[in-house]
Chains A and B, each alone.
Chain A
Amino acid sequence: MNEILKKLSAEKDHYKDLFNFMQEAAVIGTWEFYPKTDALSWSDVTKKIHDVQLDYEPNVETAINFYKPGLSISTIQEKLSRALEHGEYFDVELEIITAKGIEKWVRSIGYPVFKDGACIKVFGLFQDITEKTNNALKIKIQEEQFRASFEMAATGMALVDLDGKIFRTNQALAKTLAYTTKELIGIFIKDIVHEDYHDIGNNAADNLLKGHQDVFQHELRYIKKNGQRVWCWSSVSLIRNDRGKPIHFLAHVTDITKTKTSETRIKSLLETTNSQNKRLLNFAHIVSHNLRSHSGNLSILLDLMAVEHPNITQNDYYPLLLKASNNLNETIVNLSEVAVINTEIDQQFTKVKAYDIVEIGIEGLSGQIMDYNVTIKNEINKNITINVILAYFESIVYNILSNAIKYRQKNIDPEIEISHENNEDYHIFHFKDNGLGINLNMHKHKIFGLYKTFHEHEDSRGLGLFLTKNHIEVMGGKITVQSKENLGSTFSIYIKK
């Protein structure tokens, strides 16, 4: 008998332990309240959740005061009084502030027990759900953030299930494809992608599912609701759950029709330019081979005719014919020069001292400098080194200096000043003269054009400036001009650093 009692007692202890263990493990405490005596008792776990000592003795008032002021406290008060008065069961999630001042989310469950129409006891469960609630809140916030960034995104986005059906999408994608978002839901991806790209898409999905690839990116042609095609940059990734099982695809779709169109336009422009270059070479060939031989013949015929029949030179027509022939020759020589510049692309760049090249240019013009009493000040720092095609730079300097002398003012001794300045990208050389100047209002657009002449000068020709501009541009630089009539001109040459 004793043994049986002992065994029962032992089992009872055993169940008690098990019960405590379960409470601890689930962080679920219990409580009991007897309205008649106002006695409240808490289990150990309940006490632990409140952060009080195990010998703490709660009463209804202190217990309620643990609830966070506001919604939590008013809710528990209401629930408890309804349980006591009407026998209503309650199950609420509320916030408490523990004895240590820590805020916790708790689930409080209460079962009222009635006897003879009066409540004799309320017993309940008390569970710490802080972590769970915080996680839920976090997820809720994340979900909200995702929703906002998904729906407001400037790029088209879609969540696509593993069968290839869209189940969520945004405004941007709907706009690109001229659908409404509602219409897109339930549509298969293959129905909005051009059939030429179905194989690529299927392969990509396969690779993503097999884990061969993390993300698939490609230019794809989509089909709008109205049947029009639209080029889009697509980026698709596979979303997996925490166990690595695929859940759905996330697709980003950006309309690149504009980029695509301008790309095509650039390509066709390039082709045009290439064919124009070829024609120019052809033109250079015609100039050098055909035109030159005819004009050369003409001038040699005139020359020999004068030797053989000297009296013919007395004819009024002869000097005019000779002049026309000479002009023709000169024009052809100049045209050939231009053609040659445009075909000699692989000229070598060398490092030279700008000061020295200008001095060489001045030396080359020494005859004219003496004849017209020209003063030239070369104020370039002697150490400035530039990287140029030497022949071009020499020709540029020579052309600008000789122009400055050629277009001098009558009765004023020509003065030319050459200076240098730096900016981030260029060496800038200024050639300032006190010559005739150019009416830029009238001539600005044609100043560097082929055969544009703006001075009534005996041997004026615009070719020099045209060549100069060409030379500078071939070296990646530029030329600008400032000028006032009868005051002079300043040509500024930009040489790339």
Chain B
Amino acid sequence: MKKLKLTCIIDDDPIFVFTTKKLFDFNNYCESILIYHNGKEALEGLKPIIESNENVPELILLDLNMPIMDGWQFLDEFSKLKCNKKIVLYIVSSSIDPVDIERAKTYREVSNYIIKPITRESLAQIIDSF
């Protein structure tokens, strides 16, 4: 396990963002966290970062059900960006719909699908994989 430099959370739910941030802080998993509240905001924020190839987040936690641009739409756009550094992306959703889980598997960028709530244990597993 190593300490991450930058993690990105894309979720419109303030409670999820709050608790996840707390979990990162308690365990000292990460130096800083980047937060976007929907897909469009995230895309606009991440695009220049990835193009400049500096301060690229190592981990992205992506919610599916969001206003303006949802997780799927974000993924479609995100996969078009050319990135030299490895970004690990997890979908973190409260949807247990098998259709969503299967669909997630079709994206090369998606490492895994985590069903909310994200717990101390599941987060520890994610960090351990680095």
Residues of A with Cβ closer than 8 Å to B? 284-285, 288-290, 292-293, 296-297, 299-301, 303-304, 307-308, 336, 340, 344
Contacts and interface: CB of A to CB of B under 8 A. Distances in A.
A297 B120 CA distance: 13
B118 A300 contact: yes
Interface in B1-40: 13, 15-16, 19, 22-23, 26
Contacts of A299: 117
Given A288-B97, A293-B94, A340-B96, A304 B22 contact: yes
Given A296-B116, A307-B26, A301 B97 contact: no
A292 B94 CA distance: 6
A292 B96 contact: yes
Interface of B: 13, 15-16, 19, 22-23, 26, 65, 94-98, 116-120
Given A297-B19, A300-B118, A301-B19, A289 B98 contact: no
Contacts of A301: 15, 19
8 contacts: A288-B97, A293-B117, A297-B15, A297-B117, A304-B19, A308-B22, A336-B96, A340-B98
Given A297-B16, A301-B15, A304-B23, A285 B116 contact: no
A289 B120 contact: no
Contacts of B16: 293, 297
Contacts, number: 47
Given A296-B94, A300-B119, A308-B26, 16 more contacts: A288-B94, A288-B96, A289-B95, A290-B94, A292-B96, A293-B116, A296-B117, A297-B15, A297-B16, A300-B117, A301-B15, A304-B19, A304-B22, A336-B96, A340-B98, A344-B98
A300 B19 CA distance: 7
Contacts of B23: 304
User: Which of B16, B22, B118, B120: most chain A Cβ within 10 A?
Assistant: B22
B13 A297 contact: yes
A296 B23 CA distance: 14
B93 to A, nearest CB: 8
A336 B116 CA distance: 14
A288 B95 contact: yes
Contacts of A296: 94, 116-117
A285 B13 CA distance: 18
Contacts of A290: 94
